[in-house]
A and B are shown apart, each in its own frame.
Chain A
Amino acid sequence: MLSRVAPTLEQREGDLGTAAAGDAGERFLRLANGELDRAYRLAGMILGDRHEAEDATQDALIRAWRSAGALRDPAGFQAWFDRILVNVCRDRLRRRRRITFVAIDPEADPSTELSTPDRGDPFRAILDRDQVVRAMARVSPDERLVLILHYWADLTLDGVAERLGWPVGTVKSRLHHALNEIRRVVDGPPGGGTR
């Protein structure tokens, strides 16, 4: 007969029995679950590494959970969680000091779609594929955050500033500097790209 108990699925879905139904923790879980894919992708695009993205997202989840009381408005969950995640990613980027530089391959066709997203690291593949995107490897961690939040996450400069906790003017100046750096790399001037 049809099984009445499905303990097996609980294993995957986690120990939700320990969350008191109907409380703020439950709402946190719902909101976080809805944001999880996006957060993981954001971390992946910032860090360029799926394993690091997973670790960073996990760290952000734990930090967010522990400070969930700081969030007052559910509508602000995404920005609030993004800010935590971006901070985690920034720490990781700074520890790395510099994104690994990948030599620009003039033979590469920037218009070529990634044929198999699962081949290798999907984030790395995107970040390595296009000449302009590859040039992002030359900007500072903070500038990289601005680029990803603005051009990939499609946030306004105000939105970027909110995530980073900076004044909008700072975001603009970082963006300006990052674009100049990328242009220098792409245009290939002698000595360009060293910082």
Chain B
Amino acid sequence: MNDDTNADLEQRLRDGLRKSALPTAPDALRQRLARLPSEPHSSRLASVFGGLRLAALASAAAVAIAFVLVVRALPGSSGPGPGASFAGGGPASATGSTAPTPTAAATARPSPSEAFDAPGGVVLTPPFTCDVSSSVIPATTTGVVPLTDVRVGTHLGFDRIVFEFAGSQRPQLTVAMADPPFVGDANGQKVNVAGKEFLSLKLYDASGYPTYTGPDAFSPRYPNLAALVNTGDYEGYVTWIAGLASSRCYRISTLTGPSRIVLDVQAP
């Protein structure tokens, strides 16, 4: 009887505690984690994994020496070090191919100019969580926001699209499932987009003219992001179609300084 009561109570506890989905770690925590390398830690001498354990009596002196070594060994804060960036980082990551770069990213580069975002060196890969329920990022202003850059990149577990804007404001982004055929907003011409699944990414109130001078079509052939094609910059709507090889599982987020909207699609 008592055992039954306990079992029931335990089951009720399990059920009650696990009923809802819980939030992922806030960005601030990931940022904090990413800043840890700028702080001293004991592994430089003790070698976290498989290294020699320091004798307790020597540890105090060793830590002090380690701190000096760390400071000396760390790449300067004024420039990207080898494999410095999760999201790329220009020449450093483009040439940092000795780092454990995901195979797909390494082999899928369509051209050097699109390889900037391939991960090199340290890769912080948040476990990918689909957030397709969030299909809209609201605008921060009622005015027209100039689009200045569009970038694509691939990371372990996801491919990334970044829209960058002038200043601190951002337009609204609406993400929607889409199906071909696609047509240009202004001219009605058919636009071909590679991929099996598609997402429509509509920015409003935004304008790429004259601030955005990049390509109107990307063909990165990343693990999931096959193509990204601009189908319109018309009457405040800037529309891009993302062609995907497989999953339409995505998440969206924003960044500031400068203002950016980021869409990640899950990649195998």
Contacts and interface: CB of A to CB of B under 8 A. Distances in A.
Interface in B87-127: 87-92, 94, 96, 99, 113-114, 116-117, 120-127
Contacts of A32: 33, 36
Interface in A13-48: 13-30, 32-34, 36-37, 39-41, 44-45
Interface stretch (B2-10, B166-174, B192-200): B2-10
B188 to A, nearest CB: 27
A32 B32 CA distance: 11
B34 A15 contact: yes
Residue of B43, B46, B81, B88 ringed by the most chain A CB atoms within 10 A: B43
A9 interface: yes
B154 interface: no
Contacts of B49: 24, 27, 71-74
B48 to A, nearest CB: 4
Interface stretch (B70-78, B175-183, B232-240, B244-252): B70-78
**Interface SS majority for chain A:** helix
B86 interface: yes
Nearest to A14: B34
A117 B18 contact: no
B83 A21 contact: yes
Interface in A104-148: 110, 113-114, 117-118, 122-123, 125-126, 129-130, 132-133, 136, 147-148
A14 B47 contact: no
Contacts of A18: 37-38, 74-75, 77, 81
Interface string A155-183: 00000000000000000000000010011
Contact of A133 (B17, B44, B214): B17
Interface of B: 5-6, 9-10, 12-51, 53-54, 73-75, 77, 79-92, 94, 96, 99, 113-114, 116-117, 120-127, 129, 149, 151, 153, 162, 164, 213-215, 218, 255, 257-258, 260
28 contacts: A2-B113, A2-B218, A4-B116, A5-B116, A6-B117, A10-B86, A10-B89, A13-B34, A14-B30, A15-B34, A16-B37, A17-B77, A17-B81, A17-B89, A20-B75, A23-B44, A24-B43, A25-B37, A28-B48, A37-B24, A45-B17, A50-B26, A61-B33, A117-B20, A123-B22, A130-B16, A147-B13, A183-B5
